């Protein structure tokens, strides 16, 4: 059975990076009902299916800047421990 996700719950998770509207890996994984670790493993095993216009990882400087905006690495406050993968609109489309 296909679960319909309200558009409002997706729009609130979209962030703007490198001139692109993207979803963080953890938000993308949540949409599919899998753990972030599982999603990242699947992407790495099939990396040729994810060109840079579909998905990219934050640069070290981008990641450090993102983390510096939060006092603690708390997922509720968007704190991150590891560089996230981010998925562009093309990467999020289901094929």
The confidence score (pLDDT) of residue 69 equals 65
Q: What is the pLDDT of residues 56-72, one digit of tens each?
A: 988 888 888 777 665 55
Give the residue with greater pLDDT, 74 vs 56.
56
pTM: 0.72
Residue with tokens 């095993």: 45
Residue with tokens 């790495």: 44
Q: How confident is the model at residue 95 (pLDDT cuts 50, 70, 90)?
A: very low
Q: Where are the domains of the chain?
A: 7-92
pLDDT of 73 over the 60 cut: no
Q: What is the pLDDT of residues 2-30, one digit of tens each?
A: 677 788 878 888 888 888 888 889 988 99
Percent of the chain with pLDDT over 70: 77
Q: What is the pLDDT of residues 82-93, one digit of tens each?
A: 788 889 876 565
- In the 8-state DSSP scheme, what is residue 86? E
């Amino acid at each position: 059975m296909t679960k319909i996700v309200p558009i409002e719950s997706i729009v609130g998770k979209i962030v703007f990076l490198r001139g692109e509207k993207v979803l963080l890996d953890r938000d993308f994984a949540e949409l599919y009902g899998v753990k972030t670790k599982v999603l990242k493993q699947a992407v790495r095993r099939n990396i040729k299916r994810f060109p840079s216009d579909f998905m990219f990882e934050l640069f070290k400087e981008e990641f450090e800047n993102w983390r510096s905006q939060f006092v603690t690495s708390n997922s509720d406050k968007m704190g991150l421990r590891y560089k996230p993968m981010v998925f562009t609109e093309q990467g999020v489309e289901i094929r």
